[in-house]
Structure formats: structure tokens, C-alpha cells
Structure 1
């Protein structure tokens, strides 16, 4: 990603997951930083959750 101020390449500082309690959702969060002009950008992309299917145990 390029810096919106100086148009130089921004380095990834951190990648982690975040969680929104108000609507149960998990996000992939990436934090970018431009060391020349000290600009920070945080991007959070929703993670699509897969449904866990019920496993039916056979009767014994």
C-alpha cells in the first residue's frame, strides 16, 4: 500500500484479529506505517465464518 501523503510504500507493522462485540464478527486487521511522514493506516476486513454442521451420533 502506498502512503496517501508522500506516495511511498508503507510497511506492515502488525497483523492480527479483532472482534466486534456489538455484532458478533471477527476481522483481519492490518496496520501500515509510513516511516517518512509518520502516517498510519488500519484496515479491518471481515472474516466470513463457516457454519459448523451438527454431527449426529449413531444410536447404540
Structure 2
């Protein structure tokens, strides 16, 4: 699945993302709307990861869905 597909199916995929990153609020999920950079930024901010770590975590999640 690529990021265009994730954006298009965000309502369905958001639940899987919420299960992985439970500290992100509903409003923040809504603002991300499946966009990779916004999701990386949220993971970075909420979990204190370096940008590269957050990118790797998000990409690994994407490959697993």
C-alpha cells in the first residue's frame, strides 16, 4: 500500500494507527488525514523520537497494513 492509498482509505486505516500510537488524540488524527509527514510529526512529538526514528516507525507500520 502506498501513501496515496492510505490517504484515500484513512477513515478505515485510522483505527489501526490508533492501536499503535494511542497517545495521539482524535483531533490530531483528523488533522493528519493519512498524510505521511503529518503522521511522522505526530509520532515524533508525542513519543519524543528523532525524525529518522519516527519516519522508520511510520514506514514499518505502513508496510504492515
TM-score of the superposition, structure 1-length normalised? 0.19
Q: Pick the structure with greater CA Rg.
A: 1
TM-score of the superposition, structure 2-length normalised? 0.19
Higher strand fraction (1 or 2): 1
Higher helix fraction (1 or 2): 2
Higher relative contact order (CA 8 A, sep 6+): 2
